[in-house]
Structure 1
């Protein structure tokens, strides 16, 4: 995963020439934004990432990992994708499914292209420019997801050679994404296998930030053996804080072949200073760094010592993560892209004193889809509700949220949970699910019974 770094000879830290001051942009309801070195969600609420990396592109069948990571307290997952330049390309449909899984589990998705890792030193790696080509090729899939998705252009885009062009290449990549219609918060990785021992990202971050017409870029440092003392960690992160530039620890571990990172300081300093962190990685590591698995064989009931440390230890995920406010009190659904959901919801006016339900396909991909059912009270308040429908196209639900779901064959029943059973007259709530289908994904009629 990472290579041993040649850091001997790196001596005195270079002092930043000036402190950069950036005013707060108007919060766009469309998605995340950056102001004064902080990240804000679409509601204007500060958001601090607390989560892990998941190697989806190498383990695409491990879709249950999203729910398992969420259940352990995370609010963010950084998802490994591939542009097709080194590893098998993740299709637009697959990315749509990943986003749906994030939203179903009330996670913020940081999507990253891994094919750029170590460019200039690793001959198999590709350029940031090629990563931008990939993002633009799936732009229609990303559109409308700005509240839930952050675009991390390319993982560790340079090794220890040829990284002098990092600032120019990164600035150009950001500008290409903006001109191509990508309105999301953009995350950019450091060179030197992500660890920036040359301080190239640190000393050029202001220039890259200002190159973004939206002023909506976050910087990503990876902390392994280079960051083995508290002084190195606090100095590096502190300089970004002082400069008013947003910084995230996008990868770190408790040990590594290039040295022993000080994970206690990484987590404590990040918590004290409102800095996000994302540990590497959930499961499936190879190449001699299997010890970085947090869960053995993707099993959340078999956490390793590293998994226990990052999820349950001091300043860990469970104790410090706060769910993004865009999910608070709501069921995550996919904002409609153009066109709106292909099949209009089927509904009838709520009967007096009862309830009705409507069924909508929010998002669809080959063999799968995300569905949503909206429950609306009639002219009188209800204290609880249940809905029933029967699939006719071989659909099978694999995940659901904001409901207690049961089924008998193709007939499903969704009942309220504690927080969404009471509805005032005319009020509505929603619940959702992820399902597979074959044949025809027909819209079923849904009945609603109030209690």
Structure 2
């Protein structure tokens, strides 16, 4: 191929022009691709996901949901599948039918295996390696669908225990899929029930991305109670943007049992910065989170408050969604009749649980950024040789400094002395595990990083 192009100069210039125009890797024409932190469709056009999650594996009879989701303006649907380990397997024929429904309704299909949810903490959850076994078992349904399908290896692949191997396990799963010939864009979920309060995905995303031979991996954060302030949302997503690593909000809601996420900030920040989002979920929730249904009994004409917000509100799907260019023009299907659900699904994103015994901790302070009269700081707390059930960090502010806003910790001050204690979701750390909290401060001079002490409870 290279020799032929060197002879055909015009053809070479044409190829180079396309690559430089879109900033894409050479394999992009087969399907979706990633470049400079952005997702591109097979035509080389940037694609920003605007869609919802649909619990297909628990409600396989709700095939009309694909048309109904499209009719309300979505360009993407994240489809819940099962490997057969915790729930009945969605076999090759069923997955092929799901893909055909997505294509018939001009939706991009994000397919995920739900059986991995909360591995290490949730009984019956499977490993990412086992999830790869599933994808390989239904690979014939995926073949040739790279323009329309993104493969989300496993939903929320770790709970709040044992997540230290997330980076290695995710990288190995990607490499196995590539070695088997899967050329699709791959999506990986964060640990900690998808919310990454330990920043394991945030701090290791670059190495996981580099492990993909095709450099065609997207990261997915789930935003529930951990992300209850605009500062937390912008800080987390902003770090991926700065690193030019592709990130989407793969799940979020307007409320949750573990706290009240700031859905307005999620919607506004993602829209302002070209980041995809997929709300949870279309209908059929159970286990106490029924309020996350966007429709009542899968009826698109009976939107709930949450459904009205995400579809019709500011920065919502209807106002911001653009159909993938691989489908040509925009076609809006007519909503069809639906069947009342009969099967109760499990809950999503269970609350954190308690790790074992307590131990010591250390803390380090970093100046993330500074400007005239202000700065942003971060403190990283790391457990020692034993797990901790809570922590407290202390330091002394420099002359002329004060703190006005903080996230991922509760801050109090007495004069220049600052005390930071964990919040509900990040106090429990396994041995050697870390978490971080941040803050915005004012300063009359150049801020310096003080020494920080850490005590565990």
TM over 0.5: yes
> 1:27 offset after TM fit, Å?
5.2
Structure-2 residue corresponding to 1:106: 106
> 1:329 offset after TM fit, Å?
3.6
The secondary structure found in structure 2 opposite 1:302 is strand
> 1:308 offset after TM fit, Å?
0.1
Is 1:193 matched up with 2:175? Answer: no
Contact 1:139 1:181 in 2 (8 A): no
> 1:319 offset after TM fit, Å?
0.2
1:15-414 matches, within 5 Å, as 24-26=24-26, 28-329=28-329
Alignment deviations for residues 259-305 of structure 1 (CA, whole Å, 9 cap, x no partner): 00000000000000000000000000000000000000000000000
Contact 1:221 1:251 in 2 (8 A): yes
Number of residues of Structure 1 aligned to a counterpart in Structure 2: 312
Alignment deviations for residues 371-427 of structure 1 (CA, whole Å, 9 cap, x no partner): xxxxxxxxxxxxxxxxxxxxxxxxxxx99xxxxxxxxxxxxxxxxxxxxxxxxxxxx
The secondary structure found in structure 2 opposite 1:150 is strand
Contact 1:312 1:319 in 2 (8 A): yes
The secondary structure found in structure 2 opposite 1:115 is helix
CA–CA separation in structure 1 for the residues paired with 2:156 and 2:110: 15
Contact 2:24 2:44 in 1 (8 A): no
Alignment deviations for residues 70-99 of structure 1 (CA, whole Å, 9 cap, x no partner): 000000000000000100000100000000
Structure (1 or 2) with the greater helix fraction: 2
> 1:331 offset after TM fit, Å?
9.0
The secondary structure found in structure 2 opposite 1:181 is coil
Structure-1 residue corresponding to 2:354: none
Moved more, 219-228 or 118-127: 118-127
The secondary structure found in structure 1 opposite 2:89 is coil
Contact 1:157 1:193 in 2 (8 A): yes
Alignment deviations for residues 200-254 of structure 1 (CA, whole Å, 9 cap, x no partner): 0000000000000000000000000000000000000000000000000000000
Contact 2:86 2:124 in 1 (8 A): yes
Alignment deviations for residues 127-176 of structure 1 (CA, whole Å, 9 cap, x no partner): 00010000011111101000000000000000000000000000000000
CA RMSD in angstroms, aligned pairs only: 1.5
Any stretches of 5+ residues in structure 2 without a counterpart? 1-22, 337-457
Q: Structure 1 residues 205 and 224, CA, compared in 2 at 3 Å: closer, same or farther?
A: same
The secondary structure found in structure 2 opposite 1:284 is coil
Alignment deviations for residues 39-94 of structure 1 (CA, whole Å, 9 cap, x no partner): 00000000000000000000000000000000000000000000001000001000
Runs ≥4 in structure 1, deviation > 2 angstroms? 329-332
CA–CA separation in structure 2 for the residues paired with 1:185 and 1:28: 10
Contact 1:197 1:226 in 2 (8 A): yes
The secondary structure found in structure 1 opposite 2:88 is coil
> 1:328 offset after TM fit, Å?
1.4
Structure-1 residue corresponding to 2:11: none
Any stretches of 5+ residues in structure 1 without a counterpart? 1-22, 333-397, 400-451
> 1:24 offset after TM fit, Å?
4.0
